[in-house]
DNA sequence: ATCCAGTTTATAATTATTCTAAAGTGAAAA
DNA sequence: TTTTCACTTTAGAATAATTATAAACTGGAT
């Protein structure tokens, strides 16, 4: 994703492209592969890779704004902190609890043959599969 | 599960059956259906249903001890607090994020036809399916 | 150039959980 | 049955992740 696209992406989702948002967006979205991170890990990586400083609150604000705009998704993994994901399509995960590492599984790599129907009055929003790993 | 079984359960897992543990175990395990809870919700329910008082730290200690002994499992759901589950068998969940409600799905209600192989050097520990619900 | 709603920031507040260390207790041993 | 002590409970302090606050700043419309 090129810089111009980053600006477009921000503007088209009603996010003013501030210095901080553009830098964070470049860091998150200008890459080939899915990136899974916590606010803490993102903060550390940003400190290393860029010269600017970001208040921690800004990182929280930005990540939540990106999530609300649909540019990031949240992944539920065991543990205390929240994980985010640059892959916002419907997909699944391998999870290695020893390293806290998430690995994407494309939706079509998992085929479910049988699934119960939703409880009365409710509908199925989506199905998430976690494959927990060991060594 | 009867009171005698509760005592047996505790002793056989090396847990001294203290007043607090027995009361909490009775509350958790003397029921027909699976019970999903957080430490906070358990604390509130215990205050209502019993006359004894429990330090919050005791509830944390006890729940963790029960989990370590294999009498409880932990369920990962979106949100800040940790959910526990009296169903320690391999099973899946419906999850209603609006009510934060978990509903059990028996393992044999879900049949997976295709699944990717584990990344190099790693093995699959287990597969967990979450069916997210909406209204 | 001016202005202002939206944004960033430092810091305080909140929330969930864990730690600490003193007091209490189940049950083994005397 | 008393004594003993490792294990447990407890109140409160500490920690860690996240959110709230409110003052300073800034992108971009006018
Ligand atoms: Mn989590
Ligand atoms: Mn959680
Ligand atoms: Zn992912
Ligand atoms: Zn369950």
Instruction: Give the distance, in angstroms, between residue B6 CA and nucleotide D11 C1'.
Output: 28
Which stretch of A19-23, A51-55, A66-70, B102-106 has the lowest confidence by average pLDDT? A51-55
pLDDT tens by residue, B31-78: 999 999 999 999 999 999 988 889 999 999 999 999 999 999 999 998
CB-based contacts of B37, cutoff 8 Å, min separation 6: B45, B83, B84
Range of the domain at A96: 3-133
Q: How many domains does chain B have?
A: 1
Residue nearest to nucleotide D11 (CA to C1'): B55
Spell out which residues of chain B touch residue A103, defining contact as CB-CB under 8 Å.
119
Q: Where are the alpha helices (DSSP H) in chain B?
A: 3-12, 19-29, 39-49, 56-68
Which pLDDT does position A45 carry in this prediction?
96
CATH of residue A45: 1.10.10.10
Alpha carbons within 13 A on the beta-carbon side of B80? 1
Which pLDDT does position A52 carry in this prediction?
87
Spell out which residues of chain A touch residue B81, defining contact as CB-CB under 8 Å.
none
Which pLDDT does position B26 carry in this prediction?
97
Which pLDDT does position B51 carry in this prediction?
86
Residue of B nearest to A118 (CA): B133
Whose structure tokens read 């249903």? Answer: B49
Instruction: Give the distance, in angstroms, between residue A54 CA and nucleotide C2 C1'.
Output: 28
When scoring B75, B115, B121, B124 by the number of chain A Cβ atoms within 10 A, the one with the most, hence best to mutate, is B115
Which pLDDT does position A3 carry in this prediction?
66
Whether A1 shows a pLDDT value over 80: the answer reads no
């Amino acid at each position: 994703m090129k810089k111009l696209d980053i600006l477009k992406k921000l503007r088209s989702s009603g996010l003013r492209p501030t210095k901080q948002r553009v830098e964070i967006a470049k860091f998150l979205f200008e890459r080939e592969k899915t990136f899974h991170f916590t606010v803490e890990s993102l903060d550390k990586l940003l400190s290393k890779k860029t010269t600017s400083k970001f208040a921690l609150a800004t990182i929280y604000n930005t990540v939540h704004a990106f999530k609300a705009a649909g540019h990031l998704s949240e992944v539920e993994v065991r543990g205390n902190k929240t994980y985010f994901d640059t892959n916002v399509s419907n997909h699944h995960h391998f999870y290695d609890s020893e390293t806290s590492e998430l690995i994407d599984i494309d939706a079509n790599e998992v085929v479910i043959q049988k699934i119960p129907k939703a409880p009365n009055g409710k509908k199925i929003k989506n199905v998430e599969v976690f494959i927990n790993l060991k060594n």
